[in-house]
Amino acid sequence: MKNYLKHHEWQIIEEGFDPHVNKVSESIFSIGNGRMGQRANFEEEYSGETLSGSYVAGVYYPDKTRVGWWKNGYPEYFAKVLNAPNWIGLRISIDNQKLDLAKCKVENFRRVLDMKTGLLERSFTATLPDGKIVSVHSKRFCSMANGEVGAIRYALTPVNFSSKAVLSIYVDADVVNKDSNYDEKFWEEVYKESTEGRGIVTAQTKKTLFHVTTGMKYNIESEGKKVDLSRINLEQREKYVGNVIQVDLNQGKEVIIYKFGAVLSSENHPKEKLVDACVRVLEEASAKGFDKLFAEHAAVWAHKWEGCDITIDGDVAAQQGIRFNIFQLTQTYTGEDERLNIGPKGFTGEKYGGSTYWDTEAYCLPFYLGTADQKVARNLLVYRYKHLPRAIENAKKLGFVDGAAFYPFVTMNGEECHNEWEITFEEIHRTSAMAYAIRDYINYTGDEGYFTEYGLEVLIGIARFWTQRVNWSAEKNKYVILGVTGPNEYENNVNNNWYTNYLGAWTLRFAQQAIDYVKKADAKRYAEISAKTNFNEKEETAKWKDIVEKMYYPKDDKRGVILQQDGFLDKELIPVSKLRPEDRPINQKWSWDRILRSCFIKQADVLQGIYLFEDDFDLDTIKKNFDFYEPMTVHESSLSPCVHVILASRLGYKERAYEFYLRTARLDLDDYNNDTEEGCHITSMAGTWMSVVKGFGGMTIKDGKLNLNPYTPDQWKSYSFRLEFRGRVLKIKVSKEKTETILESGSPLDIVLNGKILSVK
């Protein structure tokens, strides 16, 4: 797909209609607002290849797990992201011919996603089978100003004829998922109504019983005048309401349909008040009208971009790529609702179950910390705090006791919903991603009060998990951690994965630090937490200390490198460069056992640990490990390249850093992995942001101070990024000659630029 989409600084542009890549474009041009979102499906009917997708944040279905051989402890279900009722639909028929781009000659097709304002536009000229030509220009957005509102302006012009059009404008809850075990439907009708100009359907999900009320209100303008809606036909069938109306088409004169959508869920309204609330939302939206709604929406985007934009001078493709990543992240998660999280596909597809992976903590948190008010990142932390009881339940199922907390690998509501023993049960490092996120947040914001309010409880739970998960090796005279999967998922059930051991022991140290802080800062609260968690400080922390002191870390003294796990050196150590092209990607070409016993690394593992705890390692150690592991890394996870950009930047490997950057920044725009049709890689987009800010910009926080060590990739003239940091907004402009730091708002502060303190005013 390289170069299929036009390069542009602020827009994604598709010119000409290629049905073969329509599903890819549907993913890329997706729009959302944190609460609802949708793929760039056409408003009018389309009988060609398409993946219909409308999504409502937090609404899922617990599908029965399909698994070959059941293991004790597996969760009963897999949380499916549901395709939600469709509010965008229009059917247009002219002289008994449907307007369906699969059945017309299509010219001048242009699809544009304006990232600056979050507007999806589409225009085309279609020749109907009988030769009548219509031109269409549609605009659509999901309001960032009101998460329950979407709006469409759909303009239709008869080019070479005058006639009548029959319009059917509807809400359809009779939708299916592409991914369902038995082709079953997940929605049941609860309520519906249709009147002139309006239609509402309340549908509930099976099993989970979420209610979603989807409404539409519309008006039609012809030659500048409102079309009378009194002579319409009301349509109703199961889970479906619509209006059918006939309008005059006069050659060359535009007919404009304004359709306002409202999507309300029982997560935000009492079920019995959903319909009333929906009516209110619809009436307000239509009263404001498309232009005013859009102005409000665009204003929110303008504000968002102020905080998070990155500019790149001298490389339009790179500029477009980074903005696309930021755009998608921003519309996926707005940080306003602490019950929500960042699904791997956001609002762009239904693939992968559940909404939350460790991606959030390990990859996304830094983006939201750096680009938004700190409450956004804080809500991500509180989300996990609220799941603590379920993490404790989850641990219990696996035999842990006394309040040990094992956070799920994939979840919707705190319960585990993934079923591969080697991941679900053994990729245990993810539970400490929650601990690291607390550190990351406090480190960046200075908000140590978070320990007191929420952090400590979570840390005690996680620390208890590690205390029970290690065992004493009489052979090594050390604590060991057996049977795990590290971040490199191309190794399963290994012993003493260094990353896991390091993170586990670090968590115990960090929990101790939290205790020390809370005891001093708020002794009463400490007593409260101790009582609530039944915490035996003396005994438990003594055990922590013992584990920290006697934890085993595999290493190779000869090479001076950390070992990814016990036995790693028994492998044949072959660089990726020696692999035959036909063997790649190995996850599509090799059987699992071959991948497992090979040295090839899916994504940063030892290097992930070094990245997270950079201060613990000197440059020589970083270099030795990078030089040892990176050549064996196949980067077959979208989460891999960003960590390598950052470490390569530290080591002055500028060319390598830029190569890794390219692998992440345009992953979806260029459909590198040939899978964007299923949705965009949302969580890894945060890695692109990190690549620029932490990689090229060299941003770190040390002792509460913002540090920058920027350089400019050779391919760029200059670049800039903004950072929200402790109440300030800073703009950092980097060129080959100099680095400018501008305080855009907030009080002056000292930062460290290239190792020297600089006062920014």
Judge whether 204 and 134 are in contact, CB under 8 Å: no
Rg (C-alpha) for the chain, rounded Å, is 27
- Phi/psi at 158 (nearest 5 deg)? -75, 120
Beta carbon of residue 494, minimum distance to a copy of itself (angstroms, whole number):
8
Beta carbon of residue 214, minimum distance to a copy of itself (angstroms, whole number):
32
Beta carbon of residue 435, minimum distance to a copy of itself (angstroms, whole number):
20
For a copy of itself, the closer of residues 283 and 566 by Cβ is: 566
Q: Give 577-622 as a DSSP string.
A: GGS-GGG-SHHHHS-HHHHHHS--BSS-SHHHHHHHTGGGS-HHHH
For a copy of itself, the closer of residues 476 and 736 by Cβ is: 476
Beta carbon of residue 424, minimum distance to a copy of itself (angstroms, whole number):
9
For a copy of itself, the closer of residues 70 and 738 by Cβ is: 70
For a copy of itself, the closer of residues 321 and 554 by Cβ is: 554
Cα gap 666→672, rounded to integer Å: 8
Beta carbon of residue 486, minimum distance to a copy of itself (angstroms, whole number):
13
**Number of alpha carbons in the 13 Å side-chain half-sphere of residue 269:** 18
Beta carbon of residue 64, minimum distance to a copy of itself (angstroms, whole number):
11
3-state secondary structure of 151: strand
Beta carbon of residue 423, minimum distance to a copy of itself (angstroms, whole number):
9
Judge whether 133 and 126 are in contact, CB under 8 Å: yes
What's the start-to-end Cα distance of the chain, in Å?
45
Interface residues toward a copy of itself, by CB under 8 A: 65-69, 71-73, 182, 397-399, 419-421, 425-426, 471-476, 480, 482-483, 492-496, 566-567, 569-573, 587-594, 596-597
Cα gap 614→488, rounded to integer Å: 19
Beta carbon of residue 86, minimum distance to a copy of itself (angstroms, whole number):
29
Q: Looking at residue 273, what DSSP letter applies?
A: G
Judge whether 215 and 87 are in contact, CB under 8 Å: yes
For a copy of itself, the closer of residues 553 and 592 by Cβ is: 592
Please report where in the chains the tokens 């890695």 appear, as a residue.
687
Ramachandran area for residue 465 (φ above 0: left; ψ -120 to 50: alpha; else beta):
alpha
For a copy of itself, the closer of residues 2 and 71 by Cβ is: 71
For a copy of itself, the closer of residues 495 and 700 by Cβ is: 495
Please report where in the chains the tokens 């590290």 appear, as a residue.
486
Cα gap 265→209, rounded to integer Å: 11
> Which residues, 6+ apart, have CB-to-CB distance to 102 below 8 Å?
19, 46, 47, 48
> Which residues, 6+ apart, have CB-to-CB distance to 355 below 8 Å?
57, 58, 60, 79, 81, 340, 341, 342, 343, 411, 412
Judge whether 429 and 486 are in contact, CB under 8 Å: yes
For a copy of itself, the closer of residues 474 and 757 by Cβ is: 474
Cα gap 116→118, rounded to integer Å: 6
Beta carbon of residue 140, minimum distance to a copy of itself (angstroms, whole number):
36
Q: Where are the beta strands (DSSP E) in 665-715?
A: 700-702, 705-708
Q: Give 707-720 as a DSSP string.
A: EE-----TT-SEEE
Strand partners, 226: 221
Task: Record the tokens describing residue 632, joined without a space.
Answer: 């064996």
Beta carbon of residue 198, minimum distance to a copy of itself (angstroms, whole number):
42
Cα gap 203→172, rounded to integer Å: 10
3-state secondary structure of 407: coil
Beta carbon of residue 26, minimum distance to a copy of itself (angstroms, whole number):
25
Beta carbon of residue 55, minimum distance to a copy of itself (angstroms, whole number):
23
For a copy of itself, the closer of residues 160 and 181 by Cβ is: 181
> Which residues, 6+ apart, have CB-to-CB distance to 535 below 8 Å?
460, 529
Judge whether 728 and 713 are in contact, CB under 8 Å: no
> Which residues, 6+ apart, have CB-to-CB distance to 468 below 8 Å?
400, 401, 402, 404
Task: Record the tokens describing residue 337, joined without a space.
Answer: 């609702």
Task: Record the tokens describing residue 12, joined without a space.
Answer: 């994604």
Cα gap 390→377, rounded to integer Å: 21
Cα gap 200→202, rounded to integer Å: 7
- Phi/psi at 90 (nearest 5 deg)? -140, 140
Which residue from 592, 660, 672 is spatially nearest to 626, judged by alpha carbons? Answer: 660
> Which residues, 6+ apart, have CB-to-CB distance to 567 below 8 Å?
494, 495
Length of the chain: 761
Catalytic residue among 26, 43, 361, 489: 489
Active site residue 489: yes
Burial call 423-443: b when 16+ CB within 10 Å, e when fewer: bbbbbbbbbbbbbbbbbbbbb
For a copy of itself, the closer of residues 425 and 454 by Cβ is: 425
Question: Do strands 705-708 and 749-753 pair parallel, antiparallel, or not at all (unpaired)?
Answer: parallel
Output the CA angle 707-712-713, nearest 5 degrees.
Answer: 130
Residues belonging to the active site: 489
